[in-house]
Amino acid sequence: MTDHLNTFQGIINQLAGMNIKFEEEVQGLWLLGTLPDSWETFRTSLSNSAPDGIMNMDLVKSCVLNEEMRRKSQGSSSQSNVLVTEKRGRSKSRGPKNRDRSKSKTNKFANVECHYCHLKGHIKKYCRQLKRDMKQGKVKEKKNDNGGENDQVATTTLDFLIVYDSDVVNFACQETSWVIDSGVSIHATPRKDFFTSYTSGDFGSVRMGNNGSAKAISMGDVCLETSNGTMLTLKNVKHIPDIRMNLISTGKLDDEGFYNTFRDSQWKLTRGSMVIAKGNKSCSLYLMQARVIDSSINAVDDDSTFELWHNRLGHMSEKGLMILAKKNLLSAMKKGSLKRCAHCLARKQTSVAFKTLHHTRKPGMLDLVYFDVCGPMKTKTLGGSLYFVTFIDDHSRKIWVYTLKTKDQVLDVFKQFHALVERQSGEKLKCIRTDNGGEYSSPLDEYCRQHGI
């Protein structure tokens, strides 16, 4: 029994190392539950004689050791096998003593209704009607995968599962696992370093299945890479440090346009024809394996780094940061040197100046004339025009302006301008420069070729 107590205490210490702690009374009741059937009388007497009805871990340990010493002195053996969790049913190897003991245990089910025959005084495990139907072949006997009838505890380095009484209680803890739950109304995680955006504040409390409550201290987004390589962004995820599992709400996914499918012990999340994520059923829970994308994580635990204050203060210089730190104006900023900042280097870069070109005007009038059309205008002129065309001589900078009702009048106006300037100045129009718009179509090009322009 001493070895059993040491093993039990080792399990409690392992759970404490995983931040899973139980109250002293719960540990005492759990230790009593691990005792074999030969200790049933001791278990009942200790439960009834506990001071104020409370049993802590130390009390149960001392009583178990005293009972062990008493049994050794009387020559009785207590070396029977002990399971960490045990199903309280009738075993296959029943003797007369076991039959008498099982009858005395039915008293605690006096007000309990059987789920099979719906009669009070016993539970389904001890139902005689169920056993008679099983002998007649009306009901098939359900056994565990290993062929036995006792539930067992499975402990690995990645998962921790507590299974009691046909999987009534399940607990899973794994950093990369997300539980797909249709009973929760929010996404939740106990890990702060999962968040890509993080907003601290009071976001209420969450009521859990054991009637306990836990506070949500912040909310943000979590970006995950699923097993098939697709990125899944969970929005408005609440940070609840007191929970032990990462929870995904199927209701929230449905509101965001995703489609959840539960079939053949598998869960599949789709949007349209694209499969976003998949998960498998494990111990009555649907679990999804996903990896948090490190490049998108923005939440940090240390807010006092040198680079962070450099960014907060508009990329202040290292000398300025040290002056503020000496005046205790930066809360708990750690000493250090500023690393090379790409934004500061880009800010200090200068652009190469464009070469200045000195424009020289043409030596004679009408050597070069600039020609452009503007419009349509919002308001018509008194003559009903919406456009106007300008002609600017490069040598004299003289401007001629003509109004147009439509763009197709450009050629006629240019002919008038051509005849006017050549007659007034006595010079020939040699070259015109335009922006190559659509109004300068082939008729204007043909006219210019005919007159050598």
In the three-class reduction of DSSP (H, G, I as helix; E, B as strand; rest coil), residue 69 is classed as: helix
Out of 151, 181, 221, 393, the active site residue is: 181
Contact by Cβ (8 Å): 40, 98: no
How far apart are the C-alpha atoms of 57 and 30, rounded to whole Å? Answer: 9
The span from the CA of 321 to the CA of 319, in Å, is 5
255 annotated active-site:
no
- Per-residue CA distances from 73 to 70, 76, 77, 158 (Å): 5, 8, 10, 44
Rg (CA), the chain: 44
Q: How many CA atoms lie within 13 A of 232 on its CB side?
A: 30
Provide the pairing of β-strand 231-239 with 205-207. unpaired
DSSP assignments along 307-365, one per residue = HHHHHHTTS--HHHHHHHHHTT-STTPPP--PPP-HHHHHHH--PPPPPP------SST
Q: How far apart are alpha carbons 117 and 162 in whole angstroms?
A: 29
- Picking from 186, 244, 205, 217, the residue whose alpha carbon sits closest to that of residue 22 is 244
CB 428 within 8 A of CB 366: yes
The residues annotated as belonging to the active site are 181
